[in-house]
Amino acid sequence: MGKLVVNQDKIPSIDELIKICPFGAMENNGGKVEINSGCKMCKLCVKKGPVGAVEFIEEEIIEIDKSLWNGIAVYVDHVEGEIHPVTLELIGKAKELASKINHPVYCIFMGENIKDKGEELLHYGVNEVFIYDDAELKDFRIEPYTAVFEDFINKVKPTAILVGATTIGRSLAPRVAARFRTGLTADCTILDIKENTDLVQIRPAFGGNIMAQIVTPNNRPQLATVRYKVMSAPKRNAEASGKISICEISKDKLASNINVLNVIPKEKETGISDAEVIVAVGRALKSEKDLSMIKELAELLNGEVAVTRPLIESGWADAKRQVGLSGRTVRPKLIIACGISGAVQFTAGMNNSDYIFAINIDEKAPIFKVAHYGVVGDIYEIIPQLIEQIKLSREA
């Protein structure tokens, strides 16, 4: 990175210099040239302006000592000690990354009365679980949770931290990243690590049209959030390994301007995130009433109905049933894609399914590139036949 420096005494004509900028990023402020936020760093003012009037100065990059940072840490997302499954998925990925650089795997677990719950994590190959157990951490409040995270990082110095992209994770990770002036990549779909411990964070960008590869080589720790169902959880070992470390933090650091008066449990919903069978439909559906045949197929298979974004925008389904980059990530045993073209925005949310069965009238549709099985045909002809065959097989 660098910056532009304006040498006022070397500008013969302010108006002529300002005209050079095609973005209108230079202003005359009381006889002085100032550069505003419209600057694109094209450097035309340096190249075409009066000699020495505007200079581009490279900022000195202070390289950090990466050897001081050791370990891959996972934030334990939970509700009253009940660990969210995304935590186990991140432990699996952390173990994979750590094995490449010979680093340990840590977990940071904060809450109240959670010491016994931390033992469960040792069955998944974690080297050490750092537990912060305090009454002030019973309910999630951003100030004390950030303070605990800061204390953990300062003590342990993990080179990378993985956080689940849950409601709490999406709130906590940016605050921690800002406190340590480090980078944070949200909703990563692929994670890898270099020999020098630089975390390679890959995620869709520009509406899913490209896969951006992001690294933060001069900042530690490195933070990334990952959605539920993107990574694979490791198998639970019968025997526990690793150790539990109980951590203390001063009470004054747990002070908060938020007081939790009451917590009302949310009713559990049956959604697509945990469904083992999903029947998904796209813009091939001609009318809202035609969703009935999709629902019938899903019910026969004990599955859930999912949709793509066009159907959400049409108001035909709840947004919680959308699969894709702007919806939910799913990983069912079987997904049937009915009349879905297979744009990357959709496939990025379901391509880790065990079996993908696609029905599309266009034999060149991208969905067939990710599908394990496919039928070229009209969903209005295929699905009724499929429903009929399932009913006949059950009667037999």
Task: Write b or e for each residue in 116-132: b if 16 or more Cβ atoms lie within 10 A of its Cβ, otherwise e.
Answer: ebbeebbbbbbbbbbbb
Place of tokens 């959880």: 233
Q: Is 326 annotated as a binding residue?
A: yes
What are the residues facing 106 on neighbouring strands?
73, 128
Q: Is 322 annotated as a binding residue?
A: yes
Q: C-alpha angle 155/156/159, rounded to 5°?
A: 135
Q: Is 283 annotated as a binding residue?
A: yes
- Is the separation of the CB atoms in 74 and 166 below 8 Å? no
Q: Is 378 annotated as a binding residue?
A: yes
- SS3 per residue for 205-257: ECCCCEEEEECCCCCCCEEEEECCCCCCCCCCCCCCCCEEEECCCCHHHHCCC
Q: Is 323 annotated as a binding residue?
A: yes
Q: Is 208 annotated as a binding residue?
A: no
Q: Is 325 annotated as a binding residue?
A: yes
Q: Is 324 annotated as a binding residue?
A: yes
Q: Is 309 annotated as a binding residue?
A: yes
Q: Is 321 annotated as a binding residue?
A: no
Both tokens of 117, joined, read: 């719950």
Q: Is 6 annotated as a binding residue?
A: no
Q: Which residues are annotated as a binding site for FAD?
A: 283, 308-309, 322-326, 360, 378-379
Q: Which residues are annotated as a binding site?
A: 283, 308-309, 322-326, 360, 378-379
